[in-house]
Amino acid sequence: MNSADAPGPDCSIDRVEHAMGIIRGRWKVLIIHHLAVHQPRRFSGLERAVPQVTQKMLIQQLRALEADGVVRRIVHPEVPPRVEYELTAAGRTLATALAALHDWTVQTCRADGRPEGDTSGPDGSG
C-alpha cells in the first residue's frame, strides 16, 4: 500500500471491528440477506426463510440487530398483533456492503472458500 492508498486519520480499524461485531452471529447475515430481498417480513416468513434457526435464536438475533440499528420492528395495532421486520437505512447500506463481500468471494475464491493462490491445506498447514 503506498501513501496515497493509506487510510486517512478518520479511518480506523476499530470501526471495521465494530461493524464486524454487528454481523457476528451465525444467523445475522442470513437475516439481513432475507430482509434485503423481501421486506417487510413477518417473523413467520423469516422462520421459513431460515428453517435451520430455532425460534429462540431468531428472536435473539433480531433483537440484537434491532438494538444495533440495522433492523426495525414494526408492531401493527391489530388483533391478533402483527409484527413485521424491515431493514433501516443503515441496514440497507450494510446489505450493500455484504453484497460487495459476496461479489469479492465469487471473483477471488475457489470452490472450497479459500482465496486463489492459497496453497495451505484445509487445516491451514502449508
Mark out the alpha helices in the chain (DSSP H runs). 13-23, 28-37, 43-49, 55-67, 89-108
Answer whether residue 122 shows pLDDT above 50. yes
Question: Cβ contacts of residue 46 below 8 Å, gap of 6+?
Answer: 31, 34, 35, 58, 62, 85
Give me Rg for the CA atoms of the chain. 18
Whether 126 has a pLDDT exceeding 70, the answer reads: no
Identify the pLDDT of residue 32: 94
Indicate the helix (H) or strand (E) that contains 76: strand 71-76
Summarize the confidence of residues 83-95 as an average pLDDT. Answer: 95
Model confidence, pTM: 0.76
Find out whether 70 and 88 touch, Cβ atoms under 8 Å.
Answer: yes
The pLDDT confidence band at residue 30, using thresholds 50, 70 and 90, is very high
What the block records as the C-alpha cell of 77 is 395495532
